[in-house]
Amino acid sequence: MYFVYVLYSTSTDRLYRGQTADLQDRLNRHNLQQEKATAQGAPWILLWHTSKPDRSQAVLLETKLKNLSRKRMVLFMQKYQQGITGPDEALLLQRLSGC
CATH number for the domain harbouring residue 23: 3.40.1440.10
- Per-residue confidence band for 99, with pLDDT thresholds at 50, 70 and 90: low
Residue type, 81: Q
Residues 6 or more apart whose Cβ sits within 8 Å of residue 56: none
**Contact in structure between 65 and 7 (CB atoms under 8 Å):** no
pLDDT digits (tens, 9 = 90+) for 24-77: 999 999 999 999 999 999 999 999 999 999 999 999 999 999 999 999 999 999
Q: How far apart are CA 34 and CA 91, in angstroms?
A: 28
**Does residue 43 lie in a domain region?**
yes
Q: How far apart are CA 12 and CA 39, in angstroms?
A: 11
**Does residue 98 lie in a domain region?**
no
Say whether pTM exceeds 0.75.
yes
pLDDT at 2 over 60: yes
Q: How far apart are CA 76 and CA 80, in angstroms?
A: 6
**What is the domain extent for residue 64?**
2-92
pLDDT digits (tens, 9 = 90+) for 84-97: 888 888 888 888 88
What pLDDT does 97 receive?
84
**Does residue 29 lie in a domain region?**
yes
Structurally, how many domains does the chain consist of? 1
Q: How far apart are CA 70 and CA 75, in angstroms?
A: 9
